[in-house]
Structure 1
């Protein structure tokens, strides 16, 4: 079966970015712990899916995504000052640490600490991979039709279609 909308894909990948002209390894999904997802429902980067369209089990892939097609360019306005009072009773975060935050609507996101002063903690709300070109290479382990439950829930329930819930 070829990858198409509403199919469940299991794949391996090695992900690289480029820093100072050199490719740098970021993360991987292995045969033991593959990435499993419902194709075509908006869970993955659109250009990531576009590059996998039509592939079938056993196919190898190797492609690059420009930052604009991945997590976007860095947004200079996505930097915020948090009052140091927010951190009363706990250690002030260190530069480079990642804070789990929540907005007024209950949406959770992560912010990287870029500066700390007596009065403020400055955080960068950009996705950690914003502004970076991505290089994916890997292999398609399996492709199958999604079950009715998976389609109803909008996500894959594992390689075999069963998630245990």
Structure 2
């Protein structure tokens, strides 16, 4: 069976930046494959387009320039937020808000997003809300392990989740990139 809309796909992959010989940043193995409903918007659109038609046992190598992945770094997504937003019981939360930490936040419109703390001053916290892979070219190499028709329940669960690459992340699980793709949460979008 070939990968087409509403098929359940299981695959392995190594995700590297800067080409086939680049740094390995994520992996889905045969023991913990990436499993998703194809065509449900869980993967990067270009990634999905390039695996369409593959069958069980097929290997793949996919280069995605940053424009087809998470785009260029957007300087407008790097902002200074007032330090008082990070107060807990009248005190600045130094345990969580420190340079290098990724902090879950919510926009005024209720959108969940993660911000990387870049700098802390007396009055502001500089945060970067770009996707961690913005500006990076991605290289996937992997193998299709299984392709089957998705059940009605699997399709319904996927549509109800509201997750995916366009929701600000790679699925709704709040896990690290090392496990995200392996738990079926939906990388292949590269966390």
What TM-score range do you get, normalising by the shorter chain?
Answer: 0.7 to 0.9
Once the two structures are superposed, the pairs formed by residues 85-164 of structure 1 within 5 Å of their partners are 85-88=84-87, 89=91, 90-91=93-94, 93-154=97-158
Residue aligned with 1:68, SS: helix
Deviation at 1:76, TM superposition (A): 0.8
Give the whole-Å Cα distance in 1 for the aligned partners of 2:8 and 2:78. Answer: 37
Count residues in correspondence. Answer: 155
1:23-77 deviation per Cα after TM superposition (whole angstroms, max 9, x unaligned) = 1110100111110011012111011011111111111111110000001111111
Q: Tell me if 1:23 matches 2:22.
A: yes
Q: After TM superposition, give the deviation of residue 137 of structure 1 in Å.
A: 0.4
Over aligned residues, Cα RMSD in angstroms?
1.8
Alignment pair present for 1:13 and 2:13:
yes
- The alignment's TM-score, normalised by the length of structure 2, stands at 0.76
Structure exhibiting the larger radius of gyration computed from Cα positions: 1
Greater than 6 Å deviation, 4+ residue runs: none
Q: Deviations over 1:79-106 (max 9, x none)?
A: 1111111222221622211010011232
Gapped runs of 5+ residues in structure 2?
Answer: 160-182, 185-191
User: Within 2, Cα distance between the matches of 1:104 and 1:149?
Assistant: 33
CA distance in 1, matches of 2:102, 2:152: 38
Which has more strand, going by share of residues? 1
Which ranges of structure 1 fall in alignment gaps of 5 or more residues? Answer: 160-165
Q: TM-score, normalization: structure 1?
A: 0.88
